[in-house]
Every structure is written in C-alpha cells, then in structure tokens.
Amino acid sequence: MYIVHVVRQFYPAVGGIEDVVHELAAAQAAAGHRVRVVTLNRLFKTTDDELPHRETIDGAEVIRVPFVGSPRYPIALSAIKFIHDADIVHVHAIDFFFDYLAWTRPFHGKKLVVSTHGGFFHTRYAMRAKRLYFNAITRFSLTWYDAVVAVSTPDYERFARLRHRGMVCIENGVNIGKYADAAASKMTKSMVCIGRFSANKRLDRVINFLAALHRHDPEWTLKILGRPWDLDVAEVTAHAQKQGVAASIEIISGASEAEIREQMGHCSVFVSASDFEGFGIAAVEAFSAGLFPVLSEIPAFRHLIEQTGVGMIVDFSQADTAAQRFLARWRDAASNYGTLRATAVAAARSFDWRHAVRRYLDVYEALLGSRRRRILDVSVTVSTKSEAVEELDRRFEESQNTLIAFANANCLNIAYTDPRVRAALGAAVVLNDGIGIDLASKLLFGAQFPENLNGTDFTPYYLQHSRHRLRIYLLGGKRGVAERAAKSISQRWPQHEVAGCHDGYFPRSDDQEIANDISASGANLVLVAMGNPDQELWLRTNFDATGCRLGFAVGALFDFIAGEAERAPAWVRTARLEWVYRLAHEPQRLWRRYVLGNPIFMLRILGQWWTGSRI
C-alpha cells in the first residue's frame, strides 16, 4: 500500500501531531508499506531556514514544500504534486491542506482520510470566527473525505455534529517505550511539566500551583521541559520570580528524549494545566514513566482519567484549592507509591502504537475495498467463489460459528431503514448479490466485486466444493418444499447428509422449539429460506441455539432446487438481468421491490457517495 501523510509541521519540529505522524509513518514503513510525508519546508516560531526538500526518516520519504501566508493557514499549492501515485492520502489536522485536498478531489481523485487532532480549537483566539468556519467551510470539506478519524472522544462528539457517517474514533497511539518506567523509583516531592512553551499550556497556572503548594510544604520543586513557541524562557522565568518560587523551578529548553527521561527519574508527579489537548500524548507518556498525573479540567484529560483510573483532575485556575486537593490525595498515594507507580505504567500499555497502527490500516483497507466494502452501512465481503469456500471451511474447522447472508439491493434497502436488520447483517459474513451491488461498488470504490455470489448459485457451489462432510438442516419454504429440496440435495451431493427439515410457516413462538429440533438433529449447517429480512432476523436470534457452525440465509433456493420455481435462462443470468426475468413472471409480487426499490437504492448510494462515507 502507498500511503501519503500530509501535515503542516514534521521533524525536526516537536509536538503532539508531529509525534503522531512520525510514529505512524515509521510503523507503516516497518510493516512493508511505501510511506511518504508531505510537509512544509520551514518550521514555525523557531527558524526561517529552509529544511531539505527530500530526505528519508525511519523508512518514510519526507517531501517538504514551500508556503506563503500565516502559520495559522499556510498556503502550499505544490503539495498536490506529491500525492499522485498514492493509494491513501492521510491528512492530519483541520487546516489549509485539509481544505485544499478536499476541494481538489475531483481533479486528483485520491482516497482521503483526515485525523482531527482537535480541529483548530486549540486556543480561544478568534473562537467565534472558528465556529462559523467550522460549521460552513469545514462541513463542506468533510464531504470529500472517505473517512474521518477522531483522535479522542471529544473530537468524535464535535465532528459527529457535521458528519453523521463515515467516522471512527482511534485514540492516538503513544510510544510507551520512550519513557517506560522512567519515574523516580522512590517517592520525591518533585513535579515535571512537559510541552511547548505556549500560552494554551498555561505554564503560569502550573507555577501558581507550585506557589500554592509552597504555602503548605516548601519542599516541592518543579521541572519545566519543552521548546519555546509563543512564550520564551525569559517570560516563564519572570512569572516564577513574580510568584517567589524561581529557586524551586528548573527550566530546560530544547531537551532531548534522553534528557527528558533523565529528568523524569528525579520526579514522581506529572502536572499539566493545559487549556486544550486533542488527546493528551504527554500525559500518557507520563503514565508510561510511572508518574502520577495531575491534570486540568478539560475533556481529553477527563477521558484519560476515567479510562485509566490513574491520577486526578484539579481546577488550576483556583491554585490554593487545587493544591489542597492534591496534597490530601498525595498523602494517601505516597504511602503506597510503588503500587501507584506500577498502576500508571500498566495503564499506558493500552495506548501502545501497535493498536492504533492496526486500526488505521483497517480504515485504509476499508476505503480501498480490498477485503470489505461498506455499502449503506453494511460491510460486504470482497471474494471469489473459491476464496469464500476456503474462508467458510476454515471457520468451520476452527469452530467459529458463522452466519452467511447475501446482500442485494432489496436487502440493503430494508437494512437501511431497519436497525435490527443492519445488526443481523453486521453479525454475518455478507456476500454480494446482483448487479445493483456491483453498480454501488463501482461508484463508491471504483471497482465491481470479483464475482456475483448470490445465494442461489453460491450455496450449491459451497456444497459441491466444501472439503467437509456436512449435516444439513433445511428450514423454510412452503409445506413439502423443504422435503423435496432435501431429497434433491441428497441426490446431487451425496457426500453430505440431510439431518432434517421444516417449512417456514410457523409462529415466532415456535422459534425455540425449532432451534431445539435442529440442535437435536446433530446438524452443523442450517439453510434458512424465509426471504428478506425474516431469514436474517431468525438466524440472528436463534442461530446459537441450533448448535450449528454455519447458517446460510438462502432466499428462494429451496423453490429452485425442488423444482417449485424456474431459474432464468443462463444467458439472462450472464447478462445480470435475472431480476427482469423474475419481475416479468411475478409482477404483482415483485414490482414494488424492483420498480420502486431499485431507483431508491441508487439514490441512497448517491447519497453515500456525496457524503464521502466509506467506513
């Protein structure tokens, strides 16, 4: 897979987004993917020197492009030249690149993913204008993205107001090995604050917090580690002097990872009074070190504390109250410091980058439709007949109970309006059935399915080619039809055994009794022919009680096998016009499904295409 990440700032810039892109790109390159990072050729705040146009960092090719305008919205039109071969273009943050690649989508035609990283709400600067832009321009730009990845629960809630479908929450991975187990092995009265020297990190409140602690216990010290942004060391030092705690604060600018790790070794507490975090990477790194986190009352930090059960939230705007709350908690925590430290280290493991990398690759594969294609909120498997047989046989051997459904336009129309049916299909291996699904796939994913796997043809193919000896139970059809279909199956595929059969005309109150009968028969495959959506709903509710390993929802299969109904001629089926043949023979029963249903289905597919939803 060829993946291009697009981000405003990258190494040697240091920050949350830069770390995320670096870790993600390096992990993907290590996994054998071709990876490129497109970024700007100068760093904000630190230097005007141009960085190398092209280099390789940890296996990822880095392309740096010139820009004009403000760092808040840097314009770099040449970036589009470096995505033309990509399978996936992954944009990080809501900025010029996000809008530019959205609006030029009709020209470059690439699959687009965006990670939210907090949008552009990191500071309160121009908040009213930001909200207007978000609800107008950002809303429109999002329609061109195939997937929107929220990096935190608060981001998901914010962006879901603009984009109802095609969203997933993947919390940022963290390199938990970088500072693993680095905190002081024995309790110290020393805190560390790590991050950019910027106004939204509220270093002033962290210093005020230390001053309030000193009024109760002057032994506490603070280390501030980071790089200048919109604050410099002199400004931070001046505030410390004003609060009378400069002698208890050590400020280290531009510390390397090794230096940060060494400084963590003298500390027991991590403190952050940040006004905004998209996720809170520094806090998770603190967990991995074994530091006790004391965090500000913002959604990202609140979520981390609730998720891990480690650390505490305080209101840094009320320094004295925050200090008193912390000291009360710390007196209890310090007596059990070793356990507290080990709990923090363990909590960080769930944020390891391996989990996030795998989930991002799942998103990419979903967009490309290489394994599954999401059509009207139903995931349809991409497979040939022989591949599907091999997969079902593998599941059978591994005792994975599996439902198999066949999605045609009518089935997906029903699922679109009925969440019970969507849930039933979501629990099944869904195979593609019919020309309507192929047209949808072509529009949404640029390719048809490899083969038409309708239940009437695929089920006999599976019975013919499965390497297992199956015991089959037939459920459905009119009285006597299942019996005749069972006889035909026994004659055509004698390697299998029919364990029993029952017609499909029974009250739902008999479901348990019938499921028990199937279980008692020793069947390991049940074929259910009740029509959409009754057969899918019956399997969803009762399959476990049948004791079978495989359950097929097969529609009109029994009628065809038993000779109750006639298939369209082979040339009609080859032309993918069997639905026309069926409509001509049963117009009264099928006109609503085809004459009304097919146009409605295509309108819904156009709606999915317009919203950009592919996951």
User: What pLDDT, in 10s, does the model give residues 469-478?
Assistant: 999 999 999 9
Which of 201-210, 502-511, 581-590 bottoms out in mean pLDDT, i.e. has the lowest?
Answer: 581-590
Domain count, the chain: 3
CATH number at 330 reads 3.40.50.2000
148 and 199 part of one domain: no
pLDDT of residue 468 exceeding 70: yes
Please name which of 575, 179, 567, 159 lies closest in space to residue 348, comparing C-alpha atoms: 179
415 and 529 part of one domain: yes
How far is it, in rounded angstroms, from Cα 375 to Cα 444?
A: 8
**What's the pLDDT tens digit per position in 111-163?**
999 999 887 776 667 788 888 999 999 999 999 999 999 988 888 999 999 98
Give the residue carrying structure tokens 């930090």. Answer: 301
Residue 364 is assigned to a structural domain of this protein:
no
pLDDT of residue 456 exceeding 80: yes
309 and 380 part of one domain: no
**What's the pLDDT tens digit per position in 170-195?**
987 788 888 999 999 999 999 999 98
Last residue of a domain, one of 316, 349, 382: 349
Separation in Å, CA 524 to CA 160, 448, 453:
43, 33, 22
Quickly state the pLDDT bin for 577 (edges 50, 70, 90): confident
343 and 403 part of one domain: no
Percent of the chain surpassing pLDDT 90: 71
Task: Give the mean model confidence (pLDDT) for residues 42-49.
Answer: 75
Residue 219 is assigned to a structural domain of this protein:
yes
The sign of the CA dihedral 242, 243, 247, 253 is: negative
39 and 82 part of one domain: yes
Task: Give the mean model confidence (pLDDT) for residues 219-230.
Answer: 91
Last residue of a domain, one of 110, 139, 169: 169
Residue 601 is assigned to a structural domain of this protein:
no
Quickly state the pLDDT bin for 509 (edges 50, 70, 90): very high
Q: Look at residue 122 in the predicted model and tell me its pLDDT.
A: 64
Residue 411 is assigned to a structural domain of this protein:
yes
Q: Look at residue 81 in the predicted model and tell me its pLDDT.
A: 96
341 and 475 part of one domain: no
Q: Look at residue 123 in the predicted model and tell me its pLDDT.
A: 65
CB 7 within 8 Å of CB 17: yes
**What's the pLDDT tens digit per position in 61-96?**
999 999 998 888 999 999 999 999 999 999 999 999
pLDDT of residue 508 exceeding 90: no
Q: What is the phi-psi region of residue 593: left when phi exceeds 0, alpha when psi lies from -120 to 50, beta otherwise?
A: alpha
Q: Look at residue 177 in the predicted model and tell me its pLDDT.
A: 87
133 and 28 part of one domain: yes
Q: Are strands 312-314 and 372-375 parallel, antiparallel or unpaired?
A: unpaired
Which of 130-134, 443-447, 610-614 bottoms out in mean pLDDT, i.e. has the lowest?
Answer: 610-614
Task: Give the mean model confidence (pLDDT) for residues 489-515.
Answer: 94
- Global pTM reads 0.72
317 and 225 part of one domain: yes
Quickly state the pLDDT bin for 47 (edges 50, 70, 90): low
Residues in Cβ contact with 491 at an 8 Å cutoff, skipping those fewer than 6 apart: none
Q: Look at residue 105 in the predicted model and tell me its pLDDT.
A: 94
**What's the pLDDT tens digit per position in 528-552?**
999 999 999 999 999 999 999 999 9
More confident: 335 or 286: 286
381 and 345 part of one domain: no
Residue 596 is assigned to a structural domain of this protein:
no
**What's the pLDDT tens digit per position in 359-375?**
999 999 989 998 999 99
Residue 12 is assigned to a structural domain of this protein:
yes
316 and 389 part of one domain: no
Which of 162-166, 441-445, 511-515 bottoms out in mean pLDDT, i.e. has the lowest?
Answer: 162-166
Last residue of a domain, one of 291, 316, 349: 349
196 and 342 part of one domain: yes
Residue 536 is assigned to a structural domain of this protein:
yes
As beta bridge partners, residue 473 has: 500, 526
Name the DSSP letter for residue 248: G
pLDDT of residue 46 exceeding 70: no
Q: Look at residue 48 in the predicted model and tell me its pLDDT.
A: 67
Residue 96 is assigned to a structural domain of this protein:
yes
How far is it, in rounded angstroms, from Cα 514 to Cα 510?
A: 6
How far is it, in rounded angstroms, from Cα 236 to Cα 256?
A: 20
CB 208 within 8 Å of CB 316: yes
CA 400 to chain centre: 24
Expressed as residue numbers, the domain containing 130 is 2-169
Q: Look at residue 120 in the predicted model and tell me its pLDDT.
A: 74
339 and 482 part of one domain: no
Q: Half-sphere exposure (CA, 13 Å, Cβ side) for 361?
A: 18
pLDDT of residue 320 exceeding 80: yes
